Amino acid sequence: MSNGHLAPRPGFVLDVDRTSPPIVFHHGEGFRLEKLPADRTRVIYPAEPLEGLTDPDGAIRSALLNPLGDSEPLPALLRPGMKLTIAFDDISLPLPPMRRPDIRQRVIEAVLDLAAEAGVDDVHLIAALAIHRRMTEDELRHAVGDRVYDAFAPSGRLYNHDAEDPDGMVVLGQTPHGEDVQFSRRAAESDLVVYVNINLVAMDGGHKSTATGLSGYTGLRHHHNVHTMLNSRSFMDRENSALHASNWRMGKVLRDADVKIFQIETTVNNNTFGREGPLSMLQKREWEWSPKDRAGFLTMQQGLKLMPAKAKRKAFSSWLAPYELTSVQAGEVEAVHEVTTANVYRQQLVPVEGQTDVLTMGLPYICPYNVNSIMNPILVMCLGLGYFFNLYRGKPLVREGGVLIMGHPTPWEFHPVHHPSYIDFFEQVLADTTDPAEIEKKWEKQFAEDEWYIHLYRTSYAYHGAHPFYMWYWGAHALQHLGRVIVVGGDTAAVRRMGFQPASTLQDALEMATDVVGPQPTITHLKNPPILMADVT
Amino acid sequence: MKALEFRRNVPRFAAARLAGSLTPGRGASVGPLRLADLEPPTAPGPDWVRVRPRLSGICGSDLATIDGRSARYFEPLVSFPFVPGHEVVGDLDDGTRMVLEPVLGCVSRNLAPTCDPCSAGHLGNCEHTTFGDLEPGIQTGSCHDTGGGWATAFSAHPSQLHPVDDSFSDESAVMVEPTACAVHAAILAGVPDGAVVTVLGAGTLGLLTIAALRTFANPRTIVATARYPSQRRLAAELGADLVVEPDDVRRAVRRATGSRAVSLAVDDGAVDRLSGGTDVVVDCVGSSASLTDALAITRPRGRIVLVGMPASVSLELTPLWHREIELVGAYTYGTETLPDGSTARTFDLAAGLVRAADLGRLVSATYPLHRYRDALEHAAAAGRRGAVKVAFDLRDEKEREALMEMSK
């Protein structure tokens, strides 16, 4: 069943020539129009949004009744007197946050309906945030809907996961690799854990949902580390990801410990900025812009120039993506995730031939860890060298020893509530070294066990003390692979603190890149978002 | 005799205060300091000797005086006109090289019996700095009768003089006096073994204090604040484990001590003060801001040692009261009691530290006397200009040789 839009076009690679228009680069809470060198540059465009399911609620119910893999339908797993835990993805998904009703609300309501029909009373809902910051009431309401929130939160049955609650966490065993499998005690002691996922990128989902989302530092340190990052090529490609291999091993330990998981995974399309509306031109190809698109873009640019940073941040944060559900599947974790990954690839995978000397990217205003917050320099690094660099299958878009040029204002600014440990990481750790392995060895434990960070994580809305380290590790593969990283339009001091080179324009950056890759390098621009993943052969 | 003389002149003092507030060190151009041709000093007493300075350092307290920032507290403790300069290595007429211990206590004032502090060897605490045979002056460099180091000659009492080993360079020797201040502060700090100590400021005194703490105490961690890259490098070289920008000190001490932060807004992640904190702060700045930081980061029943010379400060003292924090001053030197119960002259300990840590390298620039404006502006901007200690070099002054001839 379709929504009746024209058949979406797949992603493609544009070879830039002299007639190609300037390309829109995301640049934090703003944009840059960049004219790219002709005859040696290519631009990878994401696919147009797939058609969304016309009856999402029907599709969800159907998935619950027709599970994949070795799983009974959900109603058969529900019985009176049982202990049921529904865990769901946190504020980091999707990006940007989606318009109401959020997919999680739809799925959770369907699960709760079945639970009610089966007479299940002992139900807890947990935001599976691992060591991310806690979600606020507004954010929880947005995710699960007011009806669910009002029914469960006041009685303490809807809450944020607390990975530092000594009574609330349990180690269920070790993998053959000696990895501790730490898990939420409530989930471990439940007769059934239903996990509600939004699989925005191929990294998400599978055993990572539970083995990471309901775990804590004791468990996470086994796969959120420099070694796994250097051995994940890429961490968006589960089959070649040490990060995922560890999570999958942990998934087996969970199974062996009789933790029964019913996994519900969903995918959304690329309708990030809307087919119509003020940002719709951002998911169109520049040469296809209508006069209205051009006028709208220019007006927006002028307006943004006049707005103070805070106002711009507020304006962008208020954007809710009109994502549409493209698939929902439920049942046994691995069987479900196979189908989910195929659906993610169906939307995001773009075939690309060969690597490039210089990879460019324009980083947007948002990443998984600054929703309703500030994109601090560490998150800029994580988004560029972590997420975007790793959006490949096969081999990196840029050759070994090549140059990555990313554009972002990179302000030396931190959200004091959300990112207190980031401030210290930036001031103390990066002032000491930017080498991920050295950082891990010398500093991680101290930050992870810092009582104040733990206090703020548990009682306020702060990311855990270990989190900035994971952000830095996320870029470890890129740091090892690249010959140089250049940041266009960033705060010079902040860029230098991270060991990167600042440039004021893309042209300057391209000139600087020739010091590393030689004259007339090949250039590839990753035009993202909407999200694409390069399938590089 | 060529000398820089500081005269009582209220309008010029006001001008210096204004100029100094705009550009530190600029008070030298418009204030009461002038380059003068004076009569050679007359010995204030029979035992006194003449010293011909070789190097004479510029201290933070000198700069405060030149820029009109020093407290009125000192008015009865000095006698005008005076020649500044108390960090001195110089020659006696017989050619012996000496370092000056500038405090003018009971012995040099020919007072008997000596006051209790002087009897105990604590010259810096002398109760009689305005009495005796000398005009008022707490040190050479603030007393009319003795002259001071910013001249080609001054008078010194034998009790003030320490012979310099031939292996010492002049640069090392001129660092002994400020190092003695730092040694005194480090010992007075009473740092418990394994404690966390925080040194605020990485000017000359801050850097020397770090070196002294490493030698005369046994802290687990020394946190230091430093504003400029060269200061950061030297602070680490001299023994600081963690060197941070002044604005980051609360966060840094929190991390180093495993304390929690207390913020004015509940749990907003700001670090307004610490739940615990550092055991000892040595404040080598002495400003309202540094003392406020010190009170924010010192643990309950901890100690703040004030080494930097303060003037009037505005300070919220509630944490001092509530957390029972001890605030003590550290002025100059005298005799120290070491952990094993033995005693030693601070100057002797300082000379050892200067040698061991090669502190003569901290002399970054020297100037002839006639370029005193440049010298004082350089000293006032030392950190920003990558310097530590700036000194007058009198070794090539013509009058120096003339005085020698006259003495023959």
Are B259 and B292 part of one and the same domain? yes
Q: Which residue of A has its CA nearest to B245?
A: A427
Say whether A428 and B244 touch across the interface (CB within 8 A).
yes
Residue at token pair 């890259």: B229
Q: Which residue of B has its CA nearest to A431?
A: B244
Is the pLDDT at A1 greater than 50, yes or no? no
Say whether A420 and B269 touch across the interface (CB within 8 A).
yes
- Band of the pLDDT at B399, cuts 50, 70, 90? confident
CA–CA gap between residue B196 and residue B220 (Å, rounded): 6
In a domain, A403, yes or no: yes
CA–CA gap between residue B36 and residue B369 (Å, rounded): 10
Assign residue B243 a region (left: φ > 0; alpha: ψ between -120 and 50; beta: otherwise): beta
In a domain, B184, yes or no: no
Overall average pLDDT of the A508-527 stretch: 98
Q: What is the pLDDT of residue A500?
A: 98
Whether the CB of A2 is below 8 Å from some CB of chain B: the reply is no
Q: What is the pLDDT of residue B406?
A: 67
DSSP string, A282-333: GGS-GGG--HHHHHHHHHHHHHHHHS-HHHHHHHHHT--B---EEEEEEESH
Chain B residues with CB-CB distance to A432 below 8 A? none
Chain B residues with CB-CB distance to A424 below 8 A? 251, 255
Contact B176, B359 (CB under 8 A): no
Q: Which residue of A has its CA nearest to B266?
A: A460
b/e for A420-455, b at 16 or more Cβ within 10 A? bbbbbbbbbbbbeebebeebbeebbeebbebebbbb
Phi and psi at residue B210, in whole multiples of 5°? -60, -45
Say whether A460 and B269 touch across the interface (CB within 8 A).
yes
Say whether B242 and A420 touch across the interface (CB within 8 A).
no
Overall average pLDDT of the B160-183 stretch: 97
Are B397 and B292 part of one and the same domain? no
State the count of interchain CB pairs (< 8 A) between A and B.
Answer: 43
Residue B302: give its domain's CATH number: 3.40.50.720
Contacts of A21 (CB under 8 A, 6+ apart): A286, A287
Q: What is the pLDDT of residues A187-218, one digit of tens each?
A: 999 999 999 999 999 999 999 999 999 999 99
In a domain, A370, yes or no: yes
User: Which of B329, B346, B368 is a domain's end point?
Assistant: B329
Are B194 and B92 part of one and the same domain? no
Q: What is the pLDDT of residues B191-216, one digit of tens each?
A: 999 999 999 999 999 999 999 999 99
Are B20 and B150 part of one and the same domain? yes
Q: Give the H or E element holding residue B229.
A: helix B229-238
Q: Among candidates A200, A199, A222, A227, which has minimal Cα distance to A211? A: A222
Whether the CB of A520 is below 8 Å from some CB of chain B: the reply is no
DSSP string, A104-129: HHHHHHHHHHHHHHTT--EEEEEE--
Say whether B244 and A460 touch across the interface (CB within 8 A).
no
CA–CA gap between residue B385 and residue B53 (Å, rounded): 26
Contact A397, A42 (CB under 8 A): no
* Interface residue of B225, B257, B267, B272 to substitute, partner A, most A CBs within 10 Å: B267
CA–CA gap between residue A301 and residue A33 (Å, rounded): 10
Say whether A417 and B254 touch across the interface (CB within 8 A).
no
Residue A399: give its domain's CATH number: 3.90.226.30
Are B369 and B401 part of one and the same domain? yes
Say whether A452 and B260 touch across the interface (CB within 8 A).
yes
Q: What is the CA radius of gyration of chain A?
A: 22
Q: What is the pLDDT of residue B267?
A: 56
Q: Among candidates A171, A232, A163, which has minimal Cα distance to A202? A: A232
- Residue B384: helix, strand or coil by DSSP? coil
Chain A residues with CB-CB distance to B254 below 8 A? 452
CA–CA gap between residue A78 and residue B391 (Å, rounded): 85
SS (H, E, C) A410-427: CCCCCCCCCCHHHHHHHH
Mean pLDDT of chain A: 97
> What are the structure tokens assigned to A9, written together?
């076009």
Q: Which residues pair with A33 in a beta bridge?
A: A24
Say whether B255 and A450 touch across the interface (CB within 8 A).
yes
Whether the CB of B258 is below 8 Å from some CB of chain A: the reply is yes
What range does the domain containing B266 cover? Answer: 190-329
Whether the CB of B232 is below 8 Å from some CB of chain A: the reply is no
In a domain, A140, yes or no: no
Q: Give the H or E element holding residue B291.
A: helix B288-297
Whether the CB of A442 is below 8 Å from some CB of chain B: the reply is no
In a domain, B258, yes or no: yes
* Interface residue of B196, B260, B297 to substitute, partner A, most A CBs within 10 Å: B260
Q: What is the pLDDT of residue B262?
A: 86
Is the pLDDT at A395 greater than 50, yes or no? yes
Phi and psi at residue A404, in whole multiples of 5°? -110, 125
Task: Say how many domains are in chain A.
Answer: 1
In a domain, B227, yes or no: yes
Q: Which residue of A has its CA nearest to B254?
A: A452
Question: pTM for this structure?
Answer: 0.87
Are B124 and B23 part of one and the same domain? yes
In a domain, B334, yes or no: no
- Band of the pLDDT at A154, cuts 50, 70, 90? very high
Task: Say how many domains are in chain B.
Answer: 2
Q: What is the pLDDT of residue A271?
A: 98
The Cα-based distances of A133 to A221, A393, A500, B2, B53 in angstroms read 17, 30, 28, 69, 65
Is the pLDDT at A3 greater than 50, yes or no? no
Q: What is the pLDDT of residues A260-317, one digit of tens each?
A: 999 999 999 999 999 999 999 999 999 999 999 999 999 999 999 999 999 999 999 9
Say whether B268 and A418 touch across the interface (CB within 8 A).
no
Overall average pLDDT of the B276-294 stretch: 96
Residue in A417, A450, A451 closest to B268 by CB: A417
Cα-Cα-Cα-Cα torsion A481, A486, A492, A494, nearest 10 degrees, comes to -30
How close, in Å, is residue A91 to chain B by CA atoms? 19
Overall average pLDDT of the B68-75 stretch: 86
Can you list the positions of beta strands (E) in A62-116? 83-88
Is the pLDDT at B81 greater than 80, yes or no? yes
Q: Among candidates B307, B394, B382, which has minimal Cα distance to B61? A: B307
Q: What single letter denotes the amino acid at residue A300?
A: M
Are B13 and B83 part of one and the same domain? yes
How close, in Å, is residue B400 to chain A by CA atoms? 49
CA–CA gap between residue A149 and residue A394 (Å, rounded): 43
Say whether B252 and A419 touch across the interface (CB within 8 A).
no
b/e for A29-56, b at 16 or more Cβ within 10 A? bbbbebebeeebbbbbbbbbbbbbbeeb
Whether the CB of B374 is below 8 Å from some CB of chain A: the reply is no
CA–CA gap between residue A357 and residue A40 (Å, rounded): 10
Say whether A423 and B258 touch across the interface (CB within 8 A).
no
Choose between B13 and A531: higher pLDDT. A531
Q: Which of A71-80, A360-369, B34-43 has the lowest mean pLDDT?
A: B34-43
CA–CA gap between residue A74 and residue A96 (Å, rounded): 30
- Band of the pLDDT at A2, cuts 50, 70, 90? very low
Whether the CB of B248 is below 8 Å from some CB of chain A: the reply is yes
> What are the structure tokens assigned to A346, written together?
């169906």
Q: Which residue of A has its CA nearest to B247?
A: A427
> What are the structure tokens assigned to A307, written together?
């707005």
Is the pLDDT at A432 greater than 50, yes or no? yes
In a domain, B341, yes or no: no
Residue in B255, B259, B268 closest to A424 by CB: B255
Residue in A416, A450, A451 closest to B270 by CB: A416
% pLDDT > 90, chain A: 99
Is the pLDDT at A336 greater than 80, yes or no? yes
- Band of the pLDDT at A85, cuts 50, 70, 90? very high
Q: Which residue of A has its CA nearest to B257?
A: A450
CA–CA gap between residue B236 and residue B223 (Å, rounded): 10
Chain B residues with CB-CB distance to A452 below 8 A? 254, 259-261
Q: How far is CA A263 from the centre of its chain?
A: 19
Say whether A427 and B248 touch across the interface (CB within 8 A).
yes
Is the pLDDT at B71 greater than 90, yes or no? no
Whether the CB of A428 is below 8 Å from some CB of chain B: the reply is yes
The Cα-based distances of B113 to A283, B204, B330 in angstroms read 93, 36, 25
Q: What is the pLDDT of residue B10?
A: 86
Q: What is the pLDDT of residue A210?
A: 98
Are B159 and B295 part of one and the same domain? no
Is the pLDDT at A5 greater than 70, yes or no? no
Q: What is the pLDDT of residue A448?
A: 98
How close, in Å, is residue A95 to chain B by CA atoms? 25
Residue at token pair 């169109």: A284
In a domain, B339, yes or no: no
Residue at token pair 């305005």: B130
Q: Among candidates A535, A537, A382, A478, which has minimal Cα distance to A47? A: A535
> What are the structure tokens assigned to A101, written together?
């009703």
Whether the CB of B220 is below 8 Å from some CB of chain A: the reply is no
Is the pLDDT at A136 greater than 60, yes or no? yes
In a domain, A271, yes or no: no
CA–CA gap between residue A440 and residue A341 (Å, rounded): 31
Overall average pLDDT of the A440-468 stretch: 96
Q: How far is CA A364 from the centre of its chain?
A: 13
Mean pLDDT of chain B: 93
The Cα-based distances of A193 to A126, A157, A196, A503 in angstroms read 10, 14, 10, 49
Omega prior to B102 cis, within 30 of 0:
no
In a domain, A123, yes or no: no
Contacts of A70 (CB under 8 A, 6+ apart): A331, A332, A335
Chain B residues with CB-CB distance to A451 below 8 A? 258, 260
Say whether B255 and A451 touch across the interface (CB within 8 A).
no
Are B314 and B199 part of one and the same domain? yes
Whether the CB of B264 is below 8 Å from some CB of chain A: the reply is no
> What are the structure tokens assigned to A278, written together?
């003020």
Say whether B267 and A418 touch across the interface (CB within 8 A).
no
SS (H, E, C) A491-515: CHHHHHHCCCEEECCHHHHHHHHHH
CA–CA gap between residue A168 and residue A160 (Å, rounded): 12
Q: What single letter denotes the amino acid at residue A11?
A: G
- Band of the pLDDT at B402, cuts 50, 70, 90? confident
User: Which of B295, B329, B363 is a domain's end point?
Assistant: B329
Are B315 and B248 part of one and the same domain? yes
What range does the domain containing A475 cover? Answer: 12-50+348-536
Q: Which of A8-12, A426-430, A519-523, B71-75 has the lowest mean pLDDT?
A: B71-75
Omega prior to B339 cis, within 30 of 0:
no
CA–CA gap between residue A428 and residue A439 (Å, rounded): 11
Q: Among candidates A50, A49, A46, A48, which has minimal Cα distance to A1? A: A50
Are B76 and B118 part of one and the same domain? yes
Is the pLDDT at A146 greater than 60, yes or no? yes
Say whether B258 and A419 touch across the interface (CB within 8 A).
no
Residue in A450, A451, A456 closest to B269 by CB: A456
Are B362 and B403 part of one and the same domain? yes
User: Which of B283, B314, B329 is a domain's end point?
Assistant: B329
% pLDDT > 70, chain A: 99
- Band of the pLDDT at A7, cuts 50, 70, 90? confident
Q: What is the pLDDT of residue B407?
A: 62
Q: What single letter denotes the amino acid at residue A122?
A: D
Say whether A450 and B269 touch across the interface (CB within 8 A).
no
